[in-house]
Structure 1
């Protein structure tokens, strides 16, 4: 006859195997979900742009109209969206600076149509931002309950002002 511990081990193994199969099935269903987010993003204004300790610092505002709700599926826990400024300089081949971010937990939050100020200042390591062509990149990371994380991004061109300003003028 089998002991109680043997039977308990058999039940626990069966439950764990079933749970593992269920998690695998959930992960596979996420592969069929195709997100098609729509967005437009432009630099709305420059609120200050000045040298600061040998580096350039800028506070920007943006106009964004976007619908990231297609990133949500029944397995999506949250969506992390952020705006980064990407540019090249002579001293640094690739520069990426995050200037705004938001955690979204529902499809309603994933629909954005507003003008807003950057949460974080754009600080260049040097004084190379004047007149520089930059890419505004709206990126998002989808965090599912079960399965692998995935991400996407859309890129929009912009140009920094050619002169410093610190009086609150719009650029």
Structure 2
């Protein structure tokens, strides 16, 4: 005959197995929920300045780095990404470009975290880049970049999924090599 401890163990093992099956079903069902997000980023202005990377960063050889300062506008409707398994969205604007020495470069210009469906419609004007737009080669000469909007869906249970705006919604712009202070 089974003891009380053996019966409790069997009930707990069955309960844990049932919970994991339920969580697996939740994780896979969230992947098939249809969504129709849209987003676009456009640059209003671009200014290249020359200077040091940071006043606390000591590198006396590279005092003349070129930085790009941007002013952009973002229009996006990501409310269709929110469903019963969405905890939050991580939304960010990325500048993507290539150079002869580095074929694929990506720099995050701006980001935000959206925790509610009511805040998932973004219409921002006059946004400055939140992070430095600096190239590894320290000079912006004859580089064309596309700016696109990316998002990550952080679920309560399951897989983190990614998405981005269509390449046609990106904004191609030349980064001049002129020095402005």
TM-score, normalised to structure 2, is: 0.84
**Partner of residue 132 from structure 2, selected from 107, 118, 121:** 121
**Partner of residue 179 from structure 2, selected from 152, 155, 164:** 164
Q: Render the CA deviation track for 1:101-154: whole Å, top value 9, x for unaligned.
A: 111111122111012111111011124424421010211111111111110112
In angstroms, what is the RMSD of aligned CA positions? 1.7
Structure 2 residue 164 is the aligned partner of structure 1 residue 153: yes
Map of 1:15 onto structure 2: 15
Structure 1 unpaired stretches of 5+:
167-171
Detail structure 1 runs of 4+ shifted over 4 Å in the superposition.
none
Any conservation in 2 of the 1:66–1:112 contact (CA below 8 Å)? Answer: yes
- Shift of the alpha carbon at 1:51? 5.4
Distance 1:75 1:161 in 2: 41
Report the number of matched residues.
166
Structure 2 unpaired stretches of 5+:
53-61
Q: In terms of mean alpha carbon deviation, does 16-25 or 154-163 score higher?
A: 154-163
- Shift of the alpha carbon at 1:161? 4.2
- Shift of the alpha carbon at 1:5? 1.1
Distance 1:75 1:164 in 2: 49
